[in-house]
Amino acid sequence: MTTQRFDAPADPLLHALYGDLAEKDLQPLWRLHGLLTPTPAVTAVPHLWRGRDLRDLGERAGRLVPVDRGGDRRVLSLSNPGLGGLPYATSTLWGAVQYLGPGETAPAHRHTPAALRFVLGGEGVWTAVNGDPLAMSAGDLILTPSWTWHEHHNPGDTPMTWFDALDLPLVEGLGAVFFEPGDGRTAATTSPAGHSASERRFGGGPGLLPDGTTTPPPSHSPLLRYRWADTDRALAGQLSEPASQAARSGHAHIRYADPTSGRDVMPTMRCEMDRYLPGHTAPAVRRTGSSLVAVFRGSGTVALDGTHHDIEPGDLIAVPSWTAVRVLAHETLDLFTVNDAPVLETLALYRTEEVTEDAQNVADN
């Protein structure tokens, strides 16, 4: 933390200088400390929210709070205990659970912070993104890129909860938040009849793009729904390839990509899915930039800077910058991750490092 030292200098002229500098809103660098730290000084802390708490509290909010109260979304934000009460999961990422009851609609709006949804369980809700209706089922990733209109519908008779992530803290820090409410009308479409337009054009399979596809502007993936069946097949395929790195290590990994360019799905957020088999071993890794992890399936342990947490489906984890993360699977474990790596990479600030147990112990002591 940057602080100014307030010990008064003995020299009266120097004392007067410091007083005059402060009065003119100037600070001498030679009295500032903690500006340039050997490794990142991060205020957010590693933290885990329990899936069962999130489900219970979402249901209670569903019974008590109509969806129109407070921004037309029934959202419980993950508030990192290190961030002084801000509703942010890390310094760059918003994380939340959203609960939509049977028959409810969250009306259209748009904003410059980009959002994504990862569906932890259930089905039946659909989201329209710029009018394109996208079904949401367990394990699906749905994108609502910056400044796209989006609305959620639950026409079924069961409630649904999903994980929301936004780059809101980052966009706020850059002074670039804009918001526009819709006119109250919903998209003309009433339900996603089969595939959405985005999936029909860009979800045909690996390397299968519609005739006449030209490179889109480098903003976000034109495919807005990544189905669980495809993600699952890709992970299983890596693990069943006998000589593959994944099969040897018991760890499969995919990065969700723009099918036309291979770039990350959105300019500010990278999405990944890891599958860990029981018994796999890998060193702890830390990297610059922050991540949110959603436990989709399985069980295991995650060590955050050497502190172990048992994890189960629905748990959400904040991983601030430079936190050492190590995962152990008890049963086959599927972890969804969103992070700000594209931003760090673009700015040439992305670093990653393996942390041995020895180094970990030294850091802990």
Block residue for tokens 């172990």: 308
Minimum Å gap between C-beta 143 and ligand 1HN is 12
Maximum Cα–Cα distance for the chain, whole Å? 79
As measured in angstroms, the least distance from the Cβ of 106 to ligand 1HN is 6
CB of 75 to ligand 1HN, least distance (A): 5
Site for ligand 1HN contains 150 (CB under 6 A): yes
* Closer of 145 and 300 to ligand 1HN (Cβ): 145
Among 94, 126, 256, 296, binds ligand 1HN (CB under 6 A): 94
Which residue is listed with tokens 């018994």?
279
Residue 252's Cα: distance from chain center in Å? 20
Distance of alpha carbon 107 from the chain centroid: 23
Q: Count residues contacting ligand 1HN (CB under 6 A)?
A: 12
187 interacts with ligand 1HN by CB under 6 A: no
Q: Does 73 contact ligand 1HN by CB under 6 A?
A: yes
CB 116 within 8 A of CB 197: no
Tokens standing for 17? 């200088």
CA dist 51 and 34 (Å) reads 37
Nearest to ligand 1HN of 166, 246 (CB atom): 166
For ligand 1HN, the closer CB: 147 or 350: 147
Other CB atoms within 10 A of residue 283 CB: 13
CA–CA distance, 51 with 312 (Å, rounded to integer) = 7
Cβ closest to ligand 1HN, residue 51 vs residue 95? 95
- Helix H segments across 165-267? 168-173, 197-202, 228-240, 245-249
Sequence-ordered list of residues with C-beta below 8 angstroms from that of 236, at least 6 positions apart, any chain: 252, 275
Binding status of residue 168 toward ligand 1HN by CB under 6 A: yes
> Any contact of residue 96 with ligand 1HN (CB under 6 A)?
yes
**List 92, 98, 146, 161, residue binding ligand 1HN (CB under 6 A):** 98
Pick the closer one to ligand 1HN by CB: 174 or 347: 174
Interface ranges with ligand 1HN (CB under 6 A): 73, 75, 94, 96, 98, 111, 115, 150, 152, 164, 166, 168
